[in-house]
């Protein structure tokens, strides 16, 4: 793990990701709530809203207009994101390949070397994600019943709960401007688990909210 990534991870005990799509006054970008016409972008914040990083989707020109791909193919299209620290230096890259009922997200470090993998598995009643190292060793997983639609508990391989990703109930302003906040607790996690949990929180936001 590089020094820049290590310094960033040390700030990830309790944090939140805040979607910045549609920033503005309520109603100013109401169309974004329906059209999904902007790339994904998130602020990574401490709980006091101090910004410690950003996650930004990397978009290239394609034949199909972006808002069509994002609205109609939201859960099926491939997505690339870059995570930067508070100094705007890239520290992680996420590459999500999506299928009809599952997805795989590859996590790369700042040198574009494979760091870990997050795999979404299909289940009709449970949201399931596996956290695996680059050597495919299982080090954690999400097991979230659909009855608790905004809560995603995280467990280690021994099935001990070590963290949680939870969507905060949106304010009217957030709803009208298509923004959302997911709070994340990682106090019992290793640095590697924290990196995977940060990455998973972004993917969960895209795939479920």
Structure tokens at 67: 């808002």
- Predicted local confidence at residue 19, as pLDDT: 87
């999904």: which residue's tokens? 36
- Predicted local confidence at residue 143, as pLDDT: 96
Closest-CA residue to 114 (of 208, 182, 27, 195): 195
Q: Which domains does the chain have, with CATH numbers?
A: 3-208 (2.40.160.200)
Structure tokens at 95: 């590459």
Closest-CA residue to 184 (of 3, 46, 9, 48): 46
- Predicted local confidence at residue 207, as pLDDT: 86
Task: Please state, in angstroms and rounded to a whole number, the distance separating the CA atoms of residues 154 and 6.
Answer: 21
- Predicted local confidence at residue 170, as pLDDT: 58
Residues belonging to the chain: 209
Structure tokens at 38: 């902007």
- Predicted local confidence at residue 62, as pLDDT: 55
> DSSP per residue over 95-131, as a string?
EEEE-SS-EEEEEEETTS-EEEEEEEE--SSEEEEEE
- Predicted local confidence at residue 24, as pLDDT: 44
Beta bridge partners of 44: 17, 53
Answer for the pair 169, 181: CB distance below 8 angstroms, yes or no. Answer: no
- Predicted local confidence at residue 120, as pLDDT: 93
- Predicted local confidence at residue 65, as pLDDT: 53
Q: What is the pLDDT along the chain (209 residues), one digit of tens a residue?
A: 889 999 999 999 899 999 886 444 444 444 444 444 568 899 999 999 999 999 999 876 554 555 555 554 555 678 899 999 999 999 999 999 977 778 999 999 999 999 999 999 988 899 999 999 999 999 999 999 999 989 999 999 999 999 999 997 756 655 555 567 899 999 889 999 999 999 999 999 988 87
Closest-CA residue to 77 (of 106, 100, 57): 100
Closest-CA residue to 99 (of 120, 85, 82, 83): 120
């097991």: which residue's tokens? 143
- Predicted local confidence at residue 21, as pLDDT: 60
165 DSSP assignment: E
């Amino acid at each position: 793990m590089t020094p820049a990534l290590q310094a960033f991870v040390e700030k990830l005990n309790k944090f939140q990701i805040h979607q910045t799509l549609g920033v503005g006054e309520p109603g100013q970008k109401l169309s974004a709530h329906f059209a999904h016409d902007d790339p994904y972008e998130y602020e990574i914040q401490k709980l006091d809203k101090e910004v410690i990083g950003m996650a930004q989707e990397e978009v290239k020109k394609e034949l199909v207009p972006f808002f069509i791909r994002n609205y109609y193919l939201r859960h099926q299209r491939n997505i690339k994101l870059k995570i930067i620290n508070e100094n705007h230096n890239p520290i992680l890259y996420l590459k999500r390949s999506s299928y009809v009922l599952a997805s795989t997200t590859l996590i790369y470090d700042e040198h574009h070397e494979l760091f870990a993998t997050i795999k979404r598995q299909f289940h009709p009643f449970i949201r399931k994600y596996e956290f695996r190292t680059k050597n495919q060793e299982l080090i954690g997983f999400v097991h979230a019943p659909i009855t608790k639609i905004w809560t995603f508990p995280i467990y280690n391989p021994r099935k001990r709960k070590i963290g949680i990703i939870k969507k905060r109930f949106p304010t009217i302003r957030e709803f009208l401007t298509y923004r959302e906040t997911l709070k994340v607790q990682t106090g019992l996690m290793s640095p590697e688990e924290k990196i995977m949990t940060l990455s998973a929180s972004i993917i969960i936001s895209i795939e479920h909210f």
